[in-house]
Amino acid sequence: MKYKAVYTPLFMQDVNGVIDYITRKLKNPIAAHDFLDKLEEEILKRIDTPLGYAPYPSAKERPLPCYTLHVKNYGVLCCYWRQDRIPAAIIQPV
């Protein structure tokens, strides 16, 4: 099965919050840009085999498993949803 990256509004809101925090609060725009590059790199690494990683051990019941992307010292939780569901994740089947 082929997959594509889908950046949902909720995901972008969360990422923008991290970028804003690093840029404004920590006053380190270079680190913010580096984080964004590394995040995209991690997402693209998983496009071919997104389910080949250990799922996130969640106490919350979810319709499908979620996975964590580790980018620098951040963990980004990603859920892989089928196309027939409302996407709340960043990688889904094509």
pLDDT tens per residue, range 15-55? 888 899 899 999 999 999 998 999 888 888 887 887 788 88
- Range from 42-46, 69-73, 84-88 carrying the lowest mean pLDDT: 84-88
The range of the structural domain enclosing residue 23 comes to: 3-93
Counting the structural domains of the chain, the total is 1
Helix (H, G, I), strand (E, B) or coil at 91: strand
The CA distances from residue 94 to 3, 6, 9, 28, 47, in Å, are: 5, 10, 19, 37, 11
How much is the pTM? 0.72
**CB neighbour class for 9 (10 Å; exposed up to 12, middle 13-18, buried from 19):** exposed
Q: What is the DSSP letter of 85?
A: S
